[in-house]
Structure 1
Amino acid sequence: MLKLLGASLVLLAATLAGFAQARQYADRPRQIRGLIAALQRLETEIRYGYTPLPEAMRRIAQQCREPLRGFFSRAASEMNPPRSASAQEGLELAMEALWKTTAMKAPEREVLRQLGCTLGTSDRADQTSHIAMALRQLGQEEISAREDQSKYEKMCRSLGLLLGALIVILIF
């Protein structure tokens, strides 16, 4: 009886690990789409709203779902007093603190890092052109993430279950 319980727990743990990895592949394209929508809103705020950058990021945070909500909220709070960080520093600090909570990878982080270098340091037209370039790059990353999802999501689920079964067979 105890062996059966142990085998069930091993099988369950391996299956859940496979499902957790598959969820990462499913969440990445969704989060990239959310980031694209957030940057489009930021572009609109900069171009038409004449909104200060910290206020624009705070508004964007209110419209996003987690983990992007926390990311933009943290960046906005870093740019507001008493810290009064630049946009680049605010985005960097938010990425350091919250990037691990996202399913996004290094290419998306690099796009945001490059965008942070130009936000708040040039005129509106230049900033909107840099945001447009970031949107194109993120669009390419979204396509890549969808391809990865179609390749690996189902495989991770199956592999978790099969790996659990293999461990149970080898142990017992």
Structure 2
Amino acid sequence: MLKWFGAALVILSGGLAGLYQARQFAARPRQIRELILALQRLETEISYGFTPLPRALERIGASMKMPLSGLFLEAARGMGPQAGLSVQESMESSLRLYWRQTSMKPAEREVIRQLSIVLGTSDRQDQMKHIALAASQLKHEEAAAREDQARYEKMSKSLGFLISALIVILIF
């Protein structure tokens, strides 16, 4: 009886691990799309609203879901009068705190990091060009993420259960 309970537990845990990995494959393209939309909104705030960068990031963060919401809100807090960090320092700090909670990979992080170097240090037109460039780079990453999702999502679900079933068979 105890053996069967253990076997069921192994299969359940392996299956859940596979489902978690499949969920990560599904979440990555969605989060990249949300990040692209946030950058487009930032571009609008800078070009038409003439909104200061901390306020623009705060507005964008307030309209998003976690973990990307936290990323933008923390960056806005870092640029506030209490912290007094530069845009780059604030974004780096925010990325350190919230990036692990996302499903995104280092390539997307690097795009945001590169953008943070330019934001707030040049004129509006230059910032808009860099935001558009970052959005186009993220679109390429989104396409790659969708390919990965199509290729690996079902496989992850199946492999979790199959590997755990193999472990149970080998144990018995």
Q: TM-score range by the shorter chain?
A: over 0.9
Shift of residue 24 of structure 1?
Answer: 0.7
Q: TM-score, normalised by structure 2?
A: 0.99
Are residue 147 (structure 1) and residue 135 (structure 2) matched? Answer: no
Shift of residue 73 of structure 1?
Answer: 0.5
How far apart, CA to CA, are the structure 2 residues paired with 1:63 and 1:98? Answer: 17
Are residue 33 (structure 1) and residue 33 (structure 2) matched? Answer: yes
Structure 2: tracts of 5 or more residues without a match: none
1:60-99 correspondence runs (5 A): 60-99=60-99
Q: Output one character per residue of 1:77-101: Cα deviation in whole Å (capped at 9) or x when no partner.
A: 0110211111111111000111000
Structure 1: tracts of 5 or more residues without a match: none
Are residue 108 (structure 1) and residue 111 (structure 2) matched? Answer: no
2:167 maps to which residue?
Answer: 167
Are residue 157 (structure 1) and residue 157 (structure 2) matched? Answer: yes
1:158 is paired with a residue whose SS is helix
How far apart, CA to CA, are the structure 1 residues paired with 2:138 and 2:39? Answer: 10
Q: Output one character per residue of 1:37-86: Cα deviation in whole Å (capped at 9) or x when no partner.
A: 00000000000111110000000001111111011011000110211111
1:128 maps to which residue?
Answer: 128
Q: TM-score, normalised by structure 1?
A: 0.99
How far apart, CA to CA, are the structure 2 residues paired with 1:56 and 1:84? Answer: 16
1:137 is paired with a residue whose SS is helix
Q: Runs (4+) of structure 1 moved beyond 4 Å?
A: none
How far apart, CA to CA, are the structure 2 residues paired with 1:157 and 1:89? Answer: 39
1:23 maps to which residue?
Answer: 23
Q: Percent of counterpart pairs with the same letter?
A: 59
2:3 maps to which residue?
Answer: 3
Give the CA RMSD over aligned residues. 0.5
How far apart, CA to CA, are the structure 1 residues paired with 2:47 and 2:157? Answer: 44
